[in-house]
Structures are given as C-alpha cells and as structure tokens.
Structure 1
Amino acid sequence: MTIDDTVPQPLNSRGLMRLMTWLGPSFPVGAYTYSHGVEFAIEDGRVGKRDSVITWVEGVLAFGAGRIDGVLFCQAYHAACAGDLEGLIAIGIDADCRRGTAEMALEATAQGRAFVSTLGQVWDDALLANWAASMRTDGRLPSYPVAVAIAAVGADIDLRSALTAFFHAMVANLVSSAVRLVPLGQTDGIRAIAALENAVELAVKQAMETDPDDIGACAPLIDWTSMKHETQYTRLFRS
C-alpha cells in the first residue's frame, strides 16, 4: 500500500511557521534532555568524530525509532484526516508497544505529553485534546509522533512537510547531543545535519510507502546503548 499525502494542500506560510514553532528548540517538550542512547555510545567509543555521528543517526532513521515513528506518524495523520478517534487511540496504544527500552518509552511519552499540553494552551485542536483525554482514561500517555501528526492535520499541514520537519528535528536533536558530549564543534554539527538531509528524505519516503502491517525496526545496538545508559555512572541526559 502506498500512502497518499494529497490532503491537505502543500505547505503554506502559516503551516511552515507552525512547524518551525512546534519542532524548534524553544517549544517546551524537553527534547534537549534526551540523547537516545548517544551518551553511552560516545562513552563506549562507538560514536566520536563527525562521520560516526552521521552513521549513527542514519541508523536511527533507517532501522530504529525513525522507522517506527515514521509509520506511526503516517497512520495517525490519515486517521486524523478521517476524524477517526477510535483509530487514533489504537495507534496510540500500538505506539506504546513499539519502544525497545524504558528510556525510549520515556522519550516518546514525556515529549508527547508536553507537546499536547503546550499546544492545547495556545491553539484549539479538539481532536488532539479528545485523543489525549481518551489515552489518559485508558491509563496511557500520548506518544510524540502521533501527537505531532494529529496537530499537523488540525493546522492543515500536508503529510510530507510535517514528517520531514519531524525527522529533521529528531536529527538536529541527536546531533546536538553529540556536539555537547563528544564534544563536537558547532560547525561540524551543522556539517553533520547537512550531510543527513538525504537520510531524512529517504526516511520520509520509506515511511510513506510502508504498509502499516510491515511496521518494524531492527537496531539492537541502539537499544543496547539505551539499556546501558540506564545504569551509566555519569549522565547528562535522560536517555
């Protein structure tokens, strides 16, 4: 199955500003507090110079959380377009089951909860609010990619633009953690982000073309670094 992203119409200036606001560093989801296992990967010598940072983040996008989150994002986007609250609840529950470690789950749900809370205080999105309330009733927290996808529909932002911005924000955050931890110079950090543009485009294409029944990931080393991070002696990040 190929997912069609023709509704809503291509990105307008208001939609662009919303994405820049929601996925920028000033939006209070606490993204800067998570390294997605990069902190232990650096301590263990697996990530260091710019090239290894690029390779690691490419792996996250192609085989790890990026692969999972992209498909969840697309599913949620289309369910939100249809106003399918029950479908969104099912997708939210599925998202909870797709996290390989406790810290990966924390990343998704803590950011999701903060995103829903902040967006609800600034913009009116009834579907997002109803979904988050239904998740709470079921004793669950909102998953970040699902929440952003629902918000994108509410703001009339097309799927490709929304998902590209979501993945770019993921890349920028992971590179930022490496800039602080390696330490990697600011310019090398920007070089890394620039080098990952093709990986972002490929991840978007892959997510939009993947049948939801084929959702899955295979990044055991990334999961391992996340698990090891839970007991890492000195930590700056929450994951």
Structure 2
Amino acid sequence: MSTALTITRTAITTDPVSRIVKPARALSGSALLQLMWLASPALPVGGFSYSEALEAAVEAGCIVDEAQAARWLVDQLQLGLARSDLAVVAKAFGAWRRDDLATVIELNDWFTQTRESSELRQQAQQMGRSLVEWLKNRDGDPRVARLATLSPAPTWPVAFALAAAQTGAPLREALLAFAFGWAENMVQAALKAVPFGQSAGQRILGRLSEAIPAAVEHAMRLHDSERQAFTPMLAILSAQHETQYSRIFRS
C-alpha cells in the first residue's frame, strides 16, 4: 500500500466471482451512451485540471515511477472513492429518483464538510456548479433548479448522481461511469506530473479498471453510518499543494 494513504484497509473483495452482479434491468443503448458522455474527459466540468494531491505527492517524492503511481491510485480508489465519493453518488442517485430533497441536502452537506483542504472543497464545488450549468442546457427537469439551490454549492458527486439518474441507467452502471471518469482524469494527471508515457498510463488505467467493480460493489453496500472520508496523507499533501512553488494542476 502506498505510504500516502496510511490507514487500516477494510476488506474490499477483488475476487472476480464476487463482482458479478446482475443489473436490475438491461441498460439501453441511449442510457449507455449518456453514461459514456458523463464519464468523458470532454464533459465541460474541468476535471482534467485537478490532480487531487497527486502532483504534490510527486513533488514530495512519494511517487517516482509507474508502479508507485498505480499503487497510489488504486489505494485512493479503495480507501477514498469507495468509502466516500461513490457512496455519496449511490445514496444521492436513489434520493434524486425519489425526489427526496432532504436526503440530497444531507449528502451535499456531508460531502462539503468532509473535504479536508480548501483545494479539495473548491474542486468538489466548482465541478458541481459546472455540471449544473451543463444540465440546464439539456432539458427542463425541475430537479436541476433544486440542485442549483444547494448551499454553499452543489458538490460534484451529488450533481453527477442527478445527471446519471436522468439517463435511466441502473445504479451500478452509473457508479462504474463515475469511477471510470475519475480514473481517466487521474491517469492523465499522472502522465503529466510523474511523468511517464502513454503505454504506462494505459497499464495503470487497466489496473484501475480491474479494481473499480469491487469498489463500486463496496460503495453500494455501505450504510450511512459506514460512509467515511479519512485519507489524512492526501489531506496533508493537498494543503501543501496550495503553496507549492511550481504546479500544473489546480489541486
């Protein structure tokens, strides 16, 4: 496990058999394409401009090569996203479908309050606001107006959950899209920050793709009391990145 995420790991099963979960219904071609759209780096929310402290980890010497970058990102997926971001998307997805604004507000507040540095909070809010603007250009869904009223700002996982709920796709597929979009952005950040070549980036993306289904299943099983955001070294590096002498990324 990477030195940057030094907390006790709870079991996230990686056995292939445990990953096989049948969706509640077939995924239509339209829903699949819309999920691919949401996961695309071309989505105009600015995800490509964030490294989530990876750039600071490179500066600190925690990541110097492909192997360390791969371990770092897999750890971040399992210790961070699976317990926090993906878990929030999972709960918010159902809340949006029920039009349960009270739960949406609670999840948005929790996610805002658990961002451990100003950079990470600004990232969550900027990407959330940008997705709201994108959603406003699509149709007249009244839930978008309610999303826009979240204070102090709609956060990225809560906004993504609404966009994914609009597609009609099952929850599991929505979470897979969210996680893969994150993975692709982070690999692109590693290509620039470490740096290494495209082939190395594709190998890392392959490792993340293998780990994502289990992380998604873990997030779907979490009860509210089990959701957590505790990656202290990421928080420290993110705070250090705010005053880093030379940097490419916004976080």
The answer to whether TM tops 0.5 is yes
**For the Cα contact (< 8 Å) 1:23–1:169, is it kept in 2?**
yes
Deviations along 1:134-159, one digit per CA (max 9) or x if unpaired, are x1xxx411111111111211221111
Unaligned runs of 5+ in 1: none
**For the Cα contact (< 8 Å) 2:70–2:204, is it kept in 1?**
yes
Deviations along 1:37-61, one digit per CA (max 9) or x if unpaired, are 0011011111121111111111211
Q: CA deviation at 1:199?
A: 1.7
- The change in CA–CA distance for 1:75 and 1:5 in structure 2 (over 3 A counts) is farther
Give 1:127's match in structure 2, choosing from 137, 143, 151: 143
For residues 236 and 106 of structure 1, the distance between their equivalents in structure 2, rounded to whole angstroms, comes to: 16
- Which residue of 2 is the match for residue 107 of structure 1? 123
- For the aligned residue pairs, the C-alpha RMSD in angstroms reads 1.7
Q: CA deviation at 1:65?
A: 4.2
- Which residue of 2 is the match for residue 16 of structure 1? 32
Superposition map of 1:159-198 within 5 A:
159-198=171-210
1:155 aligns with 2:167: yes
Give 1:71's match in structure 2, choosing from 87, 93, 97: 87
Q: CA deviation at 1:132?
A: 1.9
Residue identity in the other structure for 2:240: K
Mean alpha-carbon deviation: is it higher for 156-165 or for 117-126?
117-126
- Which residue of 2 is the match for residue 219 of structure 1? 231
- The change in CA–CA distance for 1:5 and 1:232 in structure 2 (over 3 A counts) is farther
How many residues align? The count is 231
1:57 aligns with 2:73: yes
Q: TM-score by structure 1 length? A: 0.91
**For the Cα contact (< 8 Å) 1:73–1:146, is it kept in 2?**
yes
**Structure 1 runs (4+) greater than 3 angstroms displaced:** 4-7
Residue identity in the other structure for 1:58: V
**For the Cα contact (< 8 Å) 2:89–2:175, is it kept in 1?**
yes
1:238 aligns with 2:250: yes
Residue identity in the other structure for 1:42: V
Unaligned runs of 5+ in 2: 1-20
Q: CA deviation at 1:79?
A: 0.9
% identity of equivalent residues: 32
- The change in CA–CA distance for 1:157 and 1:73 in structure 2 (over 3 A counts) is same
Q: TM-score by structure 2 length? A: 0.87
